[in-house]
Amino acid sequence: MDFWQKHNLEEVKGKHFIIDMMYATPENLMMTPVYEEVGFGKKAYVHKDLMKCLHKLENKLEDLQLKLRIRDAYRPPVAHRRILEIFPVPGVFASRAENSLHCYGAAIDCCLCDENSCNLAFPTEIDAYHPEYVKKALSGEPETMFEHFKRAARDFYDEKLQKEIANRELLRGLMEEAGFEGISSEWWHYQLPQAKLKYPLIEWEKEK
C-alpha cells in the first residue's frame, strides 16, 4: 500500500477541474515555490471524502459550462512549517500545521473558471495575492496587505464589485450544496465539516 492509499488520499483529476497548485509556483505570498522546494510537486490530493464532494459538483459545473480551479489541496505539514518560516506574518496562515485542515487533506482553495479555463472575477485573487503588498509585508510593512485582505472576507461588500461578489456567491452556493463549508475570512477556502474531529493530520512521507 502506497502513502496515498494508506492515508485515504486521492488525486484530483477530470475535465471539470483545473489543477494549479499555487505553492508549487512563485506566485504566492512567499514568492517561493515551497512545494517544489520540499519535493512535493504540483499534484492535488484530497481525502477520499472530500473527493466525493467534488464529484457532486461535476454535473452542476457541466450545466453552467464552468470549471473549478484548485489552487491548494492537501498540504504536507513540512511545507506548512516552511511557509511559516518564509512568511512569519501573524494572522495570515494557521499558526501551526495542526491548525490547518489542508494538512489533513480536508480543505481546498479554489475559484470558478469559464469553459476556456479563464478565472471568473472575484473580489481578490486566491490568498488575496498581490505582489506589491507581499513585498511590503515581507519587508516589515504588512499594513497595506491587511487592508487588502478585508476584501477576502465572505461578507465583504462593495457596490463597485457587483460581478465579483456575484461570482463569490455562486461559488459559495455550489460548494455548500456539494457538502462543503466555508470560513468567514477567505472566500476561496472550503473544507469538510467537523474535519478535525473526523480526520488525522497527515505527515507526508517523501517517496524514495
Q: What is the CATH number of domain 3-198?
A: 3.30.1380.10
- Nearby residues of 108 by Cβ (< 8 Å), 6 or more positions away: 44, 46, 50, 70, 72, 73, 102, 189, 190, 191
pLDDT of residue 132: 87
pLDDT of residue 11: 98
Give 87 or 10, the one with higher predicted confidence: 10
pLDDT of residue 207: 66
What is d(CA 47, CA 65) in angstroms, rounded to the nearest whole number? 26
Q: What is the pLDDT averaged over residues 70-92? A: 94
pLDDT of residue 141: 86
Q: Spell out the domain ranges in the chain.
A: 3-198
pLDDT of residue 208: 56
pLDDT of residue 118: 97
Q: pTM for this structure?
A: 0.95
Beta bridge partners of 66: 114
What is d(CA 97, CA 113) in angstroms, rounded to the nearest whole number? 29
Alpha-carbon separation of residue 34 from 23, 39, 166, 186 (angstroms)? 5, 9, 32, 21
Q: At what angle do helices 162-177 and 48-64 cross, to 10 degrees?
A: 130
Beta bridge partners of 145: none
State percent of the chain over pLDDT 90. 82
How many helices (H) and strands (E) in the chain? 8, 7
Q: What is the pLDDT averaged over residues 62-69? A: 98
| Cell of residue 54, nine digits | 467534488
Q: Is the pLDDT of residue 82 over 90?
A: yes
| Cell of residue 17, nine digits | 477541474
pLDDT tens, residue by residue, 91-129: 889 999 999 999 999 999 999 999 999 999 999 999 988
Give 134 or 36, the one with higher predicted confidence: 36
What is d(CA 113, CA 69) in angstroms, rounded to the nearest whole number? 7
**Average pLDDT for the chain:** 94
